[in-house]
Amino acid sequence: MAEEIVFRRLLNFLEEDIPFWDTTTGILIPERAVVKAHVVAKQSCVVACVDDVVHFLEKLGLQVTQFIKDGDVVEKGATLLEVVGSAKTILAVERLILNVLMHCSGIATEVRRLVELIRRVNGRIRIAATRKTLPGLRYFEKKAVAIGGGDTHRLSLTDAILIKDNHIKIIGSIEEAARAARKKASFMHKVEIEVSTIEEAVKAAESGVDIIMLDNMKPEEVATVVEELKKRGLRKEVAIEVSGGITPDNILDYAKLDIDIISCGYITLSSRAIDMSLEVVEVIEK
Residue positions annotated with a catalytic role: 132
CB contact at 8 A, 41 and 80: yes
Query: Distance of alpha carbon 269 from its chain centroid, rounded?
Result: 9
| CA distance to 68, 130, 143, per residue, from 156 (Å) | 30, 10, 13
Of 143, 146, 118, whose CA–CA distance to 262 is shortest? Answer: 118
Element (H, E) at 241: strand 239-243
CB contact at 8 A, 212 and 193: yes
Residues 6 or more apart whose Cβ sits within 8 Å of residue 105:
41, 45, 46, 47, 48, 49, 144, 273, 274, 276
- Could you count the other beta carbons within 10 Å of the beta carbon of residue 63? 11
d(CA 42, CA 247): 26
